[in-house]
């Protein structure tokens, strides 16, 4: 593991732990203010168990909901049309010392790919019908290397563990608005202020989770080095995906209306650019991108990804 990849992995893990810790402190502070609850080990355990149950439920049923939303169907050895895809996934998994996941074709027209799964559903890797139509097989292999990187890093579980936190904080604030606070502190003015603050904090947490996902995607990009000419082929694949993803398509938005599923994708499925992919690639290689330009994005700016892959490509030559 290179120093750069180690830094990205450590940053994503620490960020995830930090988000979980801050969330726990917020819930404890609210309970103490409104109900005077002491910070006993038992009470802390109840809160952690509650959040854990929500995470587990999302983790277990999430793959089935995703599969239904994207109309996925499993590819098997009995399907000669996609035998090459199974062989490609197997080759990449062997190079990464990973077990073969279940492979799916998502019956949607826009190009993309994603890795997901759970203990019940098993590890899964899906590519869309639109992706197969626009990429050559070497580019598909580089995309698969990226997705296998997610499975190798176990970062989907990290995303699921923290992804529900902003929603919980938002509904805590929402419920306080209509409950008047309750408990021993009946000052409705303070309750309203705390409720508004919680809703604002939920948006801050969402920004933090977007940052974790950008780290997650950057780390998976590095895994393209495990296949021949992977960084260069992934550059081209990313440019083609963005170029062939029409911006503002209503049907695609309805299929990708979950911010969580959008974060699973190799690129944001609702952000496309109507330019030739070669033009995009050349522009991104020299673009200067501000850190703040992607603060509200669930994926790194394409220029940052292309430039990072360019450095990896040059080091491997």
Residue 265 has what DSSP assignment?
B
Structure confidence at residue 274 (pLDDT): 84
List the structure tokens of 274: 């109507």
Structure confidence at residue 27 (pLDDT): 66
- Tell me the C-alpha distance between 178 and 266, whole Å: 40
Structure confidence at residue 164 (pLDDT): 73
If residue 16 lies in a helix (H) or strand (E), which one and from where to where?
helix 3-35
- Tell me the C-alpha distance between 197 and 179, whole Å: 16
147 is an active site residue: yes
Structure confidence at residue 250 (pLDDT): 44
List the structure tokens of 194: 């705390």
List the structure tokens of 153: 């890093």
Q: Assign 3-state DSSP to the chain and report helix, strand, coil percentages, each to 5.
A: 70, 5, 25
Region for 135 from its dihedrals, namely left if φ exceeds 0, alpha if ψ lies in -120 to 50, beta otherwise: beta
- Is residue 32 a contact partner of residue 39, using CB atoms and an 8 Å limit? yes
Structure confidence at residue 147 (pLDDT): 97
- Tell me the C-alpha distance between 281 and 278, whole Å: 5
Q: Which of 74, 91, 139, 147 is flagged as catalytic? A: 147
Q: Between β-strands 102-106 and 72-74, what pairing exists: parallel, antiparallel or unpaired? A: antiparallel
- Is residue 183 a contact partner of residue 34, using CB atoms and an 8 Å limit? yes
If residue 101 lies in a helix (H) or strand (E), which one and from where to where?
none
- Tell me the C-alpha distance between 202 and 118, whole Å: 26
Cβ-proximal residues to 307 (8 Å cutoff; 6+ apart), any chain: 284, 285, 287
- The one-digit pLDDT tens for each residue of the chain (317 residues) are 455 555 555 655 666 566 666 766 676 666 666 655 554 556 556 666 776 777 778 778 888 988 998 999 999 988 899 999 999 999 999 999 999 999 999 999 899 999 998 888 999 999 999 999 999 999 999 999 999 999 998 888 777 767 777 777 777 777 767 665 555 455 566 677 777 888 888 888 888 888 889 989 999 999 999 999 999 999 999 999 999 987 755 444 444 446 778 889 999 887 788 899 999 999 999 999 887 778 888 899 999 999 999 998 888 76
List the structure tokens of 169: 């904080």
Helix, coil or strand: residue 128: strand
Give the CA angle between residues 283, 287, 290 to the nearest 5°. 145
- Is residue 177 a contact partner of residue 192, using CB atoms and an 8 Å limit? yes
Structure confidence at residue 204 (pLDDT): 85
- Is residue 236 a contact partner of residue 138, using CB atoms and an 8 Å limit? no
Structure confidence at residue 111 (pLDDT): 95
Task: Give the pLDDT confidence of 19-70 residue by residue, as tens digits.
Answer: 666 766 676 666 666 655 554 556 556 666 776 777 778 778 888 988 998 9
Task: Give the pLDDT confidence of 101-133 residue by residue, as tens digits.
Answer: 999 999 998 999 999 988 889 999 999 999 999
């Amino acid at each position: 593991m290179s120093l750069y990849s180690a830094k990205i992995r450590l940053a994503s893990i620490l960020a995830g732990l930090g988000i979980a810790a801050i969330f726990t402190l917020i819930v404890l502070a609210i309970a103490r203010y409104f109900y005077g609850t002491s910070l006993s080990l038992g009470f802390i355990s109840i809160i952690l168990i509650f959040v854990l149950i929500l995470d587990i439920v999302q983790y277990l049923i999430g793959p089935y909901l995703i599969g239904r939303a994207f109309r996925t169907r499993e590819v098997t050895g009995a399907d000669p049309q996609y035998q090459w895809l199974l062989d490609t996934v197997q080759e990449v998994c062997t190079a990464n010392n990973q077990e073969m996941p279940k492979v799916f074709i998502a019956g949607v027209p826009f190009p993309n790919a994603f890795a997901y799964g759970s203990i019940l559903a098993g590890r899964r890797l899906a590519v869309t019908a639109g992706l197969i139509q626009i990429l050559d097989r070497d580019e598909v292999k580089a995309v698969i290397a990226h997705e296998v990187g997610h499975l190798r890093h176990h970062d989907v579980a990290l995303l699921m563990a923290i992804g529900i936190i902003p929603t919980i904080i938002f509904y805590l604030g929402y419920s306080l608005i209509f409950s008047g606070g309750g408990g021993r502190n009946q000052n409705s003015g303070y309750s309203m202020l705390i409720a508004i603050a919680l809703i604002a904090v939920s948006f801050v947490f969402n920004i933090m989770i977007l940052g974790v996902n950008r780290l997650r995607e950057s780390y998976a990009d590095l895994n393209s080095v495990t296949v021949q000419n992977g960084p260069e082929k992934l550059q081209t694949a990313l440019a083609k995906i963005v170029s062939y993803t029409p911006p503002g398509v209503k049907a695609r938005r309805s299929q990708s209306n979950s911010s969580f599923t959008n974060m699973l994708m190799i690129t944001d499925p609702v952000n496309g650019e109507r330019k030739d992919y070669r033009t995009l690639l050349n522009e991104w290689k020299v673009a200067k991108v501000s850190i703040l330009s992607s603060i509200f994005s669930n994926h790194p700016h394409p220029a940052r990804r292309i430039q990072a892959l360019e450095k990896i490509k040059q080091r491997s030559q």
